[in-house]
Structures are given as C-alpha cells and as structure tokens.
Structure 1
Amino acid sequence: MSSFGQVLKEIGEFGLFQKRLLIILCIPTVFSAFVTFGQVFTGMSFPHHCNTNWILERGPNLTEEEQKNLTLPVNEDGRFESCKMFTPVDWDLETIEAYGINSTIDCTDGWDYEAPEGASSILTEFDVVCDKSSLIGVSQSIYMAGIFFGALAFGTISDRFGRRFAILLSLLLQLLFGVAVALSPNIYAYTVFIFFTGVSGIPILMTLTVMSMEWTDPSKVAVCSIILMIVNSSGLLVLAGIAYLIRDWRILQLVLSVPIVLVLAIFFCFIPESARWLISQGRKEEALKVLQRAAQVNGRTMPEDLLDKLKMEGSTERRNMLDIFRIPYLRKRTLIMGFNWFASSLMYFGLGLNVSSFGINIYLTQFIFGFVEIPANMITLVLIQYFGRRISQAGFLIFGGVSCLVVLAIPKDLPVVITTIAVLGKFGSTASFNIAYIYSAELYPTVLRQNGVGQNNMCARIAGILAPLIWLLEVYHHTIPMLLYGIIPIAAGILSFLLPETLNVELEDYAELK
C-alpha cells in the first residue's frame, strides 16, 4: 500500500472532512448542468412569419388573420410560410382582396414571432431564422468544441497546477462568460462567449470527480462520483423549473450564472488542495498541513512515524500527456477508454435527438430527461459496487447498442414502442457515461490522472459534434444512423473486457514502465 493510503486510513477514509468536502463539491455540478442545457431555453424556437405591416397602410383596420391571408403564402401543410411573403404592391386594399398577389419574396422587414407574453430567446432577438437558422446549430457545435478544448486544457492545468486551482479557474470562466452571454449584442458575440462557457462547463465535472476520489478510500470512490452525477442530473430538474418561471432569455442566463459568485467564494475559502496531488508533486510540507487539518476535522491524529515516512517518500516526478502514449499500459487503457467515451457520447446525443419529441411542452420534456438520468445513476452505483467497473461498463454499452438495433426491427407505425426502446438506449448511454468518469480516473496514476480523463473526455466531445451530423446519412438509407448508434457501442463494450478491474484497488500515484 502507498504511504498516502496508510495516512488516509489514519486520518479517516470517509469521515466528516470527506463528507463535508463532497457536499461542497456537489454545488458546482448543478451549475454545470445549467451551462450545458440552458441553451435549450435561451435558444428556444417559436413559430414565426414575415413582418407584413406594409399592408396596414392600405387597411389599418385589418385583423391579424386577415393580414396573414392577404400577405403570406401557404405551404403544402396548409400553414403560413415562415420565410416567404407576397411581394408588396402599390395597389389599394380592394384590388388586393379582389385579385390577390401571386409573386413571393423572402422576408424584407423582419419577422413576427408567436411567443408567449414576456418570452424571448436568441432566435427572436437576433432573428436567427430562415437563412440564418443554421447559426443555432453552429453555436451548439462551437459550444461542443469549447468542451473539447476545455477537456484538453483543464486536464493539463489540473495535473500541473492542482485540482483546486483548476476548479476555481473553471468557476471564474463560467461566471464571466455566462454573464457575457447574457449581454451579447448579436449572435456572433453570443457564439464566441458560448464557446468559452463550454471550455469550463463540462470539464469541471472531471476535476470535481478526481478531487473527490483522491480524498477517499477506494471503497467509497464510486459512491462519491455517483452522488456528484445525481446532483448534476438534479440540476436538469431545477433548470426546467427556473426556465418555466423566467421566459426572458437574458434574465434567465443571468439567474443561471450570477450565483456562481457565491460558489466561487465558498470554494476559495473552504476547499483544500488534493493532498495526494501535493505529494505527487513533491510538495510534502503543504500536504502535511492539509492532512493534519483533515485529521483534526475527523477527530483523528496522525502518528509521527507515518509523518516521518511520508517525508521520506514521494517524488518530484513531472509528467505530461505525451507520457500516456509513451507508457504501453497507459496507451492501451487510453485507446480503449477513449473509444468507450466516444461510444457513450455518440449514443447519448444521437438518441437525444430522436426521442426529444414527446408531444408535450419543452419544460416537461427537460424535466423528464433529467429525471430519467437519476435512476440510471443509482443503478450504476449498485452494479459497479457488486460486479465491478469493467463488466458494468461493457454491459451498459452493449445494452444501449442492442436497444438501438432493436429500434430498427420495430414497425414505424408503433411510435410509442420505438420511443420506449430508444429511452432504454438513452438509459444505457447515461449509465455508461457515469461509469466512464469513475473508471477512467481509477485507471490513471495521480501524476497523469487529470490528463488521462481529459483526453478521454475529448473523445466524447468529438462524438457530440458528430452525433447530429450522422442523422444526415438518412438520405442514403434510413437505417444507417441507428446502425452506427448500435454497432459502435457494442464494439466498445466488447473491447472493455481488455481493461483491468479497479474495484477496491488502491489508486496508483506514479506511472510505471510496465
């Protein structure tokens, strides 16, 4: 056993210090959910049509319906066109009513939106519709690119400058750019700011997970990690309620971002650095102070011989992300786990696009999505504790992939059955995602842990960018998307059996050439 493992037993492996730390670490996970899924509401779409007030100069007493009938063409579904209008003419109202207008043009004077009173979004304020509608998708892809960059950057930052520094920096970026998003003057500034919120939004979950497990006994690592994930999922439920009450997108964005000031203050004052990380960096004096504080909170004392032993051990070993690929066993783990993260993310976001239409309003849909993840988290905790990480990870990936393939065998005239099976697939992807956070962190040594998890997370972000694009392959054959969403997770699940089991195994501190 490592010297740190011995000291951890003496100061308390899951005492009041660890429990209090876990409670505080849970707080930012809620805001991570806000950052990631708040875009669902700030970018909400509303029915719209061209502004045709030009005709009111001829007939100021026209009703709204009469105005539409005279100025807007109708599509094949019998609905008014969203992006076309009849060409304005200099005729009087009687002539327009008698003969109608045949030629159409694109909207020239903006759009009218059928939004509830007081409701707004970036779509209504920046007119991101018609020929600009793709900018919504672009902003979402750029947000995912921000997560990709953040996973890489914060992996390096956390392993080089510490877990505490990385968490504080993430919170500061979330605060600054979250407020900047609310103050965006146009869609282009919004897209730039949303990129930087992505840099800090999801990657902070990696650091929080690593921080919690480095202070905890291996037998409690899964419990801590799953609690963080459950609180994150609960944030989706809270988000649905807040968004339902606040319909103005700018005010909503501020409400979701400004409270981070308090979180930042709490973390700055009360969150210690990971003692395990300090030891791995050769900063033993600082580590001893933190450990003594933890022992005091837990009502324990550290025997002098353990302190002396700790001073005699440790290393100033410096590692970087390239070492992951130089060391054979870490390279193998990275390639397999990277594929696992890719498959989980591809299935999660791919199915999310397909099962998002329940025929109910967007607020209730968001609530359901958040609620479904909670039982997935709980079941995950039970299974990985009894059956281990490896078989659980493989099982959920294969379960989710098979669900996607089963969807292809169900007739299209049974949409309820299709949706039910697809939700099971989403359940599997959520569970495999949660296990990946725990499993990945346990597979890497302390000196490379955050870098390893960060590189795995990057694979997930690539899948997040690709997932919506895969649906475009339907033009070649309608089965191609679901085949990919099914086959890739099954393949990843099978490869998972090549990984070592880490259940109740002491965390590795230093990379070994083995």
Structure 2
Amino acid sequence: MAFDNILDDVGSFGLYQMVLAMLLVSPRIVMPCHFLLNNFIAAVPPHRCNVNPLDHGGLLGNLSEAQRVAVSIPLKDNGETQACRMFVQPQFQMLENRSDGTGLPSTHCRHGWIYLNDTFSSTLATEWDLVCDWKHLPNTTSTIFFMGVMIGAIVFGVLCDNYGRRRCLLASYIIAMVFGFSSAFANSYTTFAVLRFATGFGLTGIGITSFTLNIEWVNAAHRSSVCVMGSLAWSAGNMLLAAYAYLVNDWRPLIMTVTAPLGLAILTWWWVPESARWLLAHGKAEEAQFYLNKCAEMNKKAKISKFKLEAEFRVETLEKKKSYTYLHLFKTPKLRRLTLVMGVVWYGVAVTYYGISLNIVGFGLSMYLTHFIYAAIEVPAKLLIYVLINKIGRRKCLAGTLILTGTCIVINIFVPKGLWHLRSAVAILGKGLSEASFTTVYLYTTELYPTVIRQNGLGYTSFTSRLGVSVAPLILLLEDAWTLLPQVILAVGAIGFGLVALMLPETLNTRLPETIDDVEKPNSQSPAPTGVLLETRNGT
C-alpha cells in the first residue's frame, strides 16, 4: 500500500485531481437521465376506448363526442369513464339516466384508445398502445434496461481489472452513445427494448469505471470529497432530467437530448489518465511513471524517478503478473464474507432507492416537480453524509441511512392520503436518505476491495444492485394486489438491509488495500499517517 506515499509526493489532491473530476462530470450527468428516464418516456396518460369510428347504421351520427362516450363506455365506481372497456352495443338510455352500466355486456376496446392528457405529445404507451392488457410493458422496459446494466457490470468489472480503466471507459462511452441514439429511432417495442438493454450495458461501464478512476487518484483523506463530488454530478443530472422532460415532451427527442452529452465525454476522454495505481499493481511502472509525472507537473510538485517508484511500491512479481477473475472474490475467507455481505447490501440500497425514485405520483404535485424535488433533496443529503462519514464512519452511516429510509416509508404507510403535504415531506426525506446510502456504499466498496480486484468487486456489487433495480419496477406493480404491498416490502427490506450493513468492517482513515493479502492479513490495512487524520478531522 505504498502507493499513497508516492501519491503524496506528486500531489494527492491538487489541480490534476480536480481536472480529472471535471472531465468525468458530463458522463455522470448522463447516467441518471437514462436510469430514471422511464418516469417520463413510459408515462401512461389517462385514456379511454376510441368510439369515434362507431356508427351503428347512422344512429350515432348526430351525437356529440361526449354523447357517444356516454352511450358507448361504462363508468367506474367513482364515476370516471373506464379506460379499457366499452359496451357491446350502444346504450342510448344512458343519455337520459347516466348509470355506471353495471351488468350490461361489455368488451375490450375495438378501435384503439383516445389519450386524454396533453402533458405528453408522445410516450411509449401512446406510441404502441401499451395500455390495458399491455399496461405492464412500459415499466418492463425499465427492467430490461437495468438487466443490461446488470450484465454490463459483470463484463466491465472483468475487463477493467485486466485491461485498464481508461480503455474500458472509452468503450462504454461509445456503446452508450450509439445505442442510446439508436433507441430514439426504434420502430417497434421489441427493437426499443433491445436497444435500451444495450444502452444500459454501456452506461454501467461509465459508472463503475469513472468512479474508480477518481478514487484511485486521491489519498485516504480526500476519498470522501471525490466521492461526494461525483455523486453531486449525478444529482445535477437528475434535476436536469426534470427540466429536459418538461421542455421536451416527446419521448424520441427526449432520449436524444439526454444522450447528447456523451459526445462531449468522448472528446474529453483524450485527457483522461489511466489509473497509476492500477498500472503499478500490474507491473507497468514506466507507464505509471508517465502519468505520475504529469500529475506532479500540474500540481507543481517534484517529478518522481523510476528508481524511487520501484523502491517505494512493493508488490510481489507474482501479484503483478496474475490475472484476476470474479472467483478471487470468493477464494479467501475474509474476502468471501465481505463479498457476500456487500452483495446483499448493494441489492438493498438499489431496490430502496429506485423503489422510491420510480414512484413520483400520488403526492398532489406534478410529476416534473416531484422528480425535481426528489433530485434536489439529494444535494443537502450528500453534503450531510460527507460530514458524517468522516465523523462517525462509513458503516454507521450506511446502516443508519438505510434504517431511517425504511422508517420514513413505514410512517407514510400510516399517514392518511388526505395529508399529502406531510406525506410528501416524509417521502422527500426518505428519498434523500436513500441517496445518502447510495453515496456511502459506493465509497465504502472502493475502500474495502484491493486494487487488483477492485473493479471486479465493483462489477459484482453493481450486478447485485442492478438486480435490485430490475426488481423495483416489478415491486411497484404489486399495488394491483394490495395498494400498500410495495411500501411494506420496501420498508421491511430497507431496515433489514441496514442491519446487515453492520456486519461490515470500518474503513475510516485506512489506506486502500493493494493486494488480496492486504485484506486477509490482520492489521494489513494500516491507518493513514497522522497528518492525514488531522486533515480528515478538519473536513479538508
């Protein structure tokens, strides 16, 4: 773990690290725009059967549209027009006595649907009539997208640890941009679903690779700062999504709008450095020296010689040449226990966060405003968590935010729907806490896994989290069985996963492990130097 000593010599948190963070902002802004895009492109506006083509021998010809609806479509118990049924024959008595039509023969919509809300000019539902018997398909696109994210996490986890962070970052940029734009031109639901899967596959490479790059270029004192900075870029993208969706209410241009910043990301990739920590762990000292000297030059520090580099960084030759796979996450006792627990926790964090984020209706506010508020509350939550993770540690923050998120969901189960102001406030607080848990677990994971398999570790945990994300839209569909069932599942899960997080070791003020032995050997993760401890306590 001598890399931290080398990094201190060339500048562990200077202009070089700040420029790197800025270069990775635009792709991180794109990610939430795609991850939560389904809130808008898959929205289902109010609708009813299309009765305009009906004629019945000219009997309906002299009726207004409202009268045609009255004699052709039954009512719900609450007096609203049914969305998916129409009478087999016109019921002209309804013009005199508008009953709900209970007991009268009805059938499914024969001539398509009329969409009654002008909020959207076009969504997936209106494009391909994904309503009534097909109403599950709009939400299914979200699950398919996150399945791509899940598979991408596995693939990029292996590739990044074996071929480097930088090249995999470029590949993920290109994949996400090509398939993201292509999905805007899909001519069928099946084609769109396949392209969304591929887009998710590319985007996950951006997430796990950019985050690791940032973390591996700073020392222990500044890991939390870099983590929160990257996480704030996510929140910025999340807030921008509400604005984009409000201004662009057609799903095809909206997809192109949120994908466009990846073009800038590809242009700026040429200035993104490889991780010197990864290069040294794989025996590539000359290339590592090149990037370290670039860092020293920009941070106005003395350049490091190859002799000093090789003398300082003590990684066994066998470790340098070894190729790592996901199996190494389970081969040794401590790492195996860590991997199993982290997988469970990541699943819980993701299913809770997205279970809340994908439910942006029912609080008496417009969906755009609700989404924006949900995104905006993440900013103070992240600033607060930045202070807390350096004061009370990662483990307590992760467990505490999950348990409190579950508590907020429980409170809203019992608050009457009429008190929508209170319900909104509690839901927004829960959303902020769930995002705080996500910010914490990202940092926590990079600190727990050693450099030689860190990307494999992030790939594995990202896989389990995306499994949770894929399940989240399906959990929300359970409200058809019992209105409160999704909230009960999310609440119990969040509290339970928070308790599981207490099984993890603390990493506050410890250096990043470089090899598997650093994790397995007692006391292998030595504390940071005293100066680093003082910097952390001062919040710098």
TM-score normalised by the chain length of structure 2: 0.87
- Which aligned pairs between 1:373-384 and structure 2 lie closer than 5 A? 373-384=378-389
Relative to structure 1, is the Cα distance of residues 428 and 95 closer, same or farther in structure 2, using a 3 angstrom cutoff?
closer
RMSD: 2.9
2:351 alignment partner in structure 1: 346
1:241 alignment partner in structure 2: 243
| Cα separation, 1, equivalents of 2:54 and 2:500 | 66
- Which aligned pairs between 1:375-454 and structure 2 lie closer than 5 A? 375-408=380-413, 410=415, 414-454=419-459
Relative to structure 1, is the Cα distance of residues 423 and 237 closer, same or farther in structure 2, using a 3 angstrom cutoff?
closer
2:173 alignment partner in structure 1: 171
The Cα shift of 1:485 comes to 3.0
Write the deviation string for residues 407-446 of structure 1: whole angstroms up to 9, x where unpaired: 4555666554444334333332211111000000110011
1:125 alignment partner in structure 2: 127
1:497 maps to 2:496: no
1:297 alignment partner in structure 2: 298
2:26 alignment partner in structure 1: 27
| Cα separation, 2, equivalents of 1:13 and 1:275 | 12
- Of 73-82 and 360-369, deviating more is 73-82
Write the deviation string for residues 355-384 of structure 1: whole angstroms up to 9, x where unpaired: 642212211111111111111111111111
2:203 alignment partner in structure 1: 201
| Cα separation, 2, equivalents of 1:420 and 1:391 | 24
2:511 alignment partner in structure 1: 506
Write the deviation string for residues 452-474 of structure 1: whole angstroms up to 9, x where unpaired: 12211222222223334446767
The Cα shift of 1:88 comes to 6.1
1:39 maps to 2:38: yes
| Cα separation, 2, equivalents of 1:196 and 1:486 | 32
Q: Which amino acid aligns with 1:17?
A: Y
Relative to structure 1, is the Cα distance of residues 265 and 110 closer, same or farther in structure 2, using a 3 angstrom cutoff?
same
1:77 alignment partner in structure 2: 78
| Cα separation, 1, equivalents of 2:53 and 2:286 | 76
The 8 Å contact of residues 43 and 136 in structure 1, kept in 2 or not, is answered as: yes
Relative to structure 1, is the Cα distance of residues 386 and 475 closer, same or farther in structure 2, using a 3 angstrom cutoff?
same
1:357 alignment partner in structure 2: 362
Q: Which amino acid aligns with 1:22?
A: A
Q: Which amino acid aligns with 1:83?
A: C
Relative to structure 1, is the Cα distance of residues 417 and 440 closer, same or farther in structure 2, using a 3 angstrom cutoff?
same
1:271 alignment partner in structure 2: 272
1:458 maps to 2:459: no
2:281 alignment partner in structure 1: 280
The Cα shift of 1:500 comes to 2.3
Q: Which amino acid aligns with 2:46?
A: P
1:216 alignment partner in structure 2: 218
The 8 Å contact of residues 397 and 490 in structure 1, kept in 2 or not, is answered as: yes
1:18 alignment partner in structure 2: 17
Write the deviation string for residues 179-238 of structure 1: whole angstroms up to 9, x where unpaired: 121011111111111112222334522221111010111111111111111111111111
- Of 487-496 and 332-341, deviating more is 487-496
Q: Which amino acid aligns with 1:55?
A: L
| Cα separation, 2, equivalents of 1:388 and 1:118 | 45
Q: Which amino acid aligns with 1:502?
A: T
Relative to structure 1, is the Cα distance of residues 99 and 473 closer, same or farther in structure 2, using a 3 angstrom cutoff?
closer
The Cα shift of 1:154 comes to 1.5
Partner secondary structure for residue 68 of structure 1: helix
| Cα separation, 2, equivalents of 1:113 and 1:364 | 22
The 8 Å contact of residues 349 and 467 in structure 1, kept in 2 or not, is answered as: yes
Partner secondary structure for residue 326 of structure 1: coil
The Cα shift of 1:303 comes to 3.8
The Cα shift of 1:340 comes to 1.7
| Cα separation, 1, equivalents of 2:126 and 2:360 | 25
The 8 Å contact of residues 70 and 94 in structure 2, kept in 1 or not, is answered as: no
Relative to structure 1, is the Cα distance of residues 61 and 286 closer, same or farther in structure 2, using a 3 angstrom cutoff?
farther
The 8 Å contact of residues 149 and 204 in structure 2, kept in 1 or not, is answered as: yes
1:50 maps to 2:38: no
The 8 Å contact of residues 347 and 429 in structure 1, kept in 2 or not, is answered as: yes
- Of 400-409 and 355-364, deviating more is 400-409
| Runs of 5+ consecutive residues of structure 1 not aligned to the other structure | none
Q: Which amino acid aligns with 1:281?
A: H
The 8 Å contact of residues 32 and 201 in structure 1, kept in 2 or not, is answered as: yes
| Cα separation, 1, equivalents of 2:478 and 2:81 | 30
- Which aligned pairs between 1:86-235 and structure 2 lie closer than 5 A? 86-87=87-88, 103-116=105-118, 119-235=121-237
Write the deviation string for residues 19-45 of structure 1: whole angstroms up to 9, x where unpaired: 100111121111001111122111121
Relative to structure 1, is the Cα distance of residues 458 and 133 closer, same or farther in structure 2, using a 3 angstrom cutoff?
same
Write the deviation string for residues 133-167 of structure 1: whole angstroms up to 9, x where unpaired: 11112222212222221221111121111111222
Q: Which amino acid aligns with 1:347?
A: T
- Of 6-15 and 80-89, deviating more is 80-89
| Cα separation, 2, equivalents of 1:478 and 1:127 | 25
2:530 alignment partner in structure 1: none
The Cα shift of 1:398 comes to 2.4
The Cα shift of 1:317 comes to 2.8
The Cα shift of 1:70 comes to 3.0
| Cα separation, 1, equivalents of 2:41 and 2:111 | 24
| Cα separation, 2, equivalents of 1:321 and 1:259 | 32
